[in-house]
Amino acid sequence: MFTTVYAQSDAPAITSATSPLEMAGLFFVLAVVWYFLLIRPQRQQLQRRAEMLRNLRRGDSIVTAAGIVGKVVRVIDDLELEVEIAENVRVRVVRSFVSEVQSKSEPV
């Protein structure tokens, strides 16, 4: 009915004391790894996206964030585009909501 409980032996606990310099070195290595694995690729992706949005021009086939596919008819200003989504159906789209350029047109 009752089970015997065995206590842990009285062996001394092994502790490893690390110096503050070792901890700082480890923190520095982790910060470098964090930068190259997370921060740098994200910055490059944001730069590519900004370049894509900057280079939009008339005739480009685009996909908006809502999934609407259309062709850029006119670049209104730095913020807006006029996009034709069907024959004689044009909408104004905020440039930042363009998620993908499917095909680039020839420069005009």
Q: Tell me the whole-structure pTM to 2 decimals.
A: 0.67
- Which domain covers residue 87, as residue numbers? 57-108
- Indicate if 66 and 106 belong to the same structural domain: yes
CA 99 to chain centre: 12
The tokens describing 27, both together, are 């923190």
The tokens describing 106, both together, are 């020839």
CATH number of the CATH domain containing 61:
2.30.30
Q: How far apart are CA 105 and CA 59, in angstroms?
A: 5
Per-residue pLDDT at 104: 79
Backbone angle region of 67, left / alpha / beta, with phi > 0 → left and psi within -120 to 50 → alpha: left
> Which positions ≥6 away from 51 have C-beta within 8 Å?
none
Per-residue pLDDT at 18: 76
Q: What is the pLDDT of residues 56-103, one digit of tens each?
A: 999 999 999 999 999 999 999 889 999 999 999 999 999 999 999 988
- Indicate if 50 and 62 belong to the same structural domain: no
- Indicate if 80 and 108 belong to the same structural domain: yes
Domain count, the chain: 2
Per-residue pLDDT at 108: 55
Is 3 contained in some domain?
no
Question: 5 pLDDT band (50/70/90 cuts)?
Answer: low
Q: What is the pLDDT of residues 12-61, one digit of tens each?
A: 666 666 788 889 999 999 999 999 999 999 999 999 999 999 999 999 99
Is 79 contained in some domain?
yes
Is 7 contained in some domain?
no
Q: How many residues does the chain have?
A: 108
Amino acid residing at 17: A
Amino acid residing at 27: F
